[in-house]
Amino acid sequence: MLRASVIVFPGSNCDRDVKVALERITGFPVNMVWHGDASVPASDLIVLPGGFSYGDYLRCGAMAAHSPIMRDVIAKAKAGTPVLGICNGFQVLCRSGLLPGILMRNASLKFICRDVTLRVDNDSSFFTRCYRKGEIVRMPVAHAEGNYFADADTLDRLEGEGRVVFRYCDENGEANEAGNPNGAQRNIAGICDASGRVVGLMPHPERLFERALGGTGGRRMFESALLAAVEPMV
């Protein structure tokens, strides 16, 4: 049994997509939790989906980070419940302090929607255990504000602790400018907290989890979660 909860903020628009991906891959029903609720029911993992929570009118993710449900998400995360933030969900994780850094406007100043190649730099987090370190996978991005920024000390610490989960890369796995869609510092596409249980990333794994959609690059994030349910992390 895997009890997954997806938080629905007003303006979330990938909530259904991630629910479908989780249910199809894990085989267990997913619980949708409204932002105004006081608490998340007991869950093995929580997902903050993509979209434009509260319209992103006051900086992306900023309002959602202070919504009633986030108090409980933060408490549960600190108590060890795994949390995955995708796109806007990653922005919310940063705004709520569960992950360091912020997401700024893309360097191009344009919204960008396309497949990117990612290099797996951490294959031990809760959501990446089914990948192999150094592997190159394809997932789509769709954002206007995905340009990861943190000060040099924070970036050094993240890298030193192996907490960069995915990096944008070219087709050969080089994390260079050509492979960077949004100007992110050190090509960072996703990071995790010190425990490896809170993961945030800009790409959308739920959009490429079956062949019919054009690829399966994101599938193993959800398989990793399922594996963890059977074989808990130490």
Partner 1 sequence: MSDTPFQITPEIVAEHGLSPSEYQRLLKILGREPSFTELGIFSVMWSEHCSYKSSRVWLKTLPTTGKQVIQGPGENAGVVDLGDGDAVVFKMESHNHPSYIEPYQGAATGVGGIMRDVFTMGARPVADLNALRFGAPEHAKTRHLVDGVVSGIGGYGNCVGVPTVGGEVNFDAGYNNNILVNAMCVGLARTDKIFYSAAKGVGLPVVYVGSKTGRDGIHGATMASAEFDDKSDEKRPTVQVGDPFTEKLLIEACLELMEKDCIIAIQDMGAAGLTSSSCEMADKGGVGFTLNLDHVPQRETGMTAYEMMLSESQERMLMVLKPGSEPEAEAVFRKWELDFAIVGETTDTGRLIVTHKGNVEADIPVTTLANSAPIYERPWFPTQVPKLILPEWVPAPNAILDTLKTMMGGPALASRRWVWEQYDHMVMGDTVQRPGGDAAVVRVHGTQKGIAVTCDVTPRYVTADPEMGTKQAVVETWRNLTAVGADPLAITDNMNFANPERPEVMGQFVGSVKGMSEACRVLDYPVVSGNVSLYNETNGVGIPPTPAIGGVGVVPDVSRMADIALKRENDLLIVIGREAGHLGQSLYQQHATGKLEGAPPPVDLADEIKAGRLVRTLIREGKVDTVHDISDGGLVVAVAEMALAGNIGAELFAYEGRLPGYAIWFGEDQGRYVLAVDPMQAEEVLERARLLALPARIVARTGGDAISLKGETALSLTDLRTVNESWLPGYMAAVQA
Residues marked active site are found at 87, 204, 206
Segment lying near partner 1 (by CB under 8 A), choices 15-23, 76-84, 89-97, 120-128: 15-23
- Please identify, among the stretches 25-33, 78-86, 125-133, 206-214, the one whose residues bind partner 1 according to the rule CB under 8 A: 206-214
Tell me which residues in 106-145 interact with partner 1 (CB under 8 A): 110-114, 140, 142, 144
If one asks whether residue 29 binds partner 1 (CB under 8 A), the answer comes out as no
Alpha helices, H only, 79-201: 88-95, 152-160
Residues linked to residue 103 through DSSP beta bridges, in sequence order: 148
Non-local (6+) Cβ contacts of 69 within 8 A are 7, 33, 34, 35, 36, 37, 38, 39, 40
Query: Which residue reads 């504000």 in tokens?
Result: 145
Q: How far is CA 21 from CA 4, 48, 114, 204, in A?
A: 12, 14, 19, 11
Q: Does 68 bind partner 1 (CB under 8 A)?
A: no
Query: Which of 17, 44, 121, 145 forms a contact with partner 1 (CB under 8 A)?
Result: 17
- 188: helix, strand or coil: strand
Among 207, 220, 221, 222, binds partner 1 (CB under 8 A): 207
Tokens, residue 26:
């894990």
> 3-class SS at 227?
helix
Short-list 206, 214, 154, 148, CA closest to 181: 148
CB of 32 to partner 1, least distance (A): 12
Closest to partner 1 by CB, 37 vs 135, is 37
Residue 58 binds partner 1, judged by CB under 8 A: no
Nearer to partner 1, 58 or 75 (CB): 58
Residues lying near partner 1 in the complex (CB under 8 A) are found at: 10-11, 13-14, 16-17, 20-21, 50-52, 54-57, 110-114, 140, 142, 144, 204, 206-207, 212-214
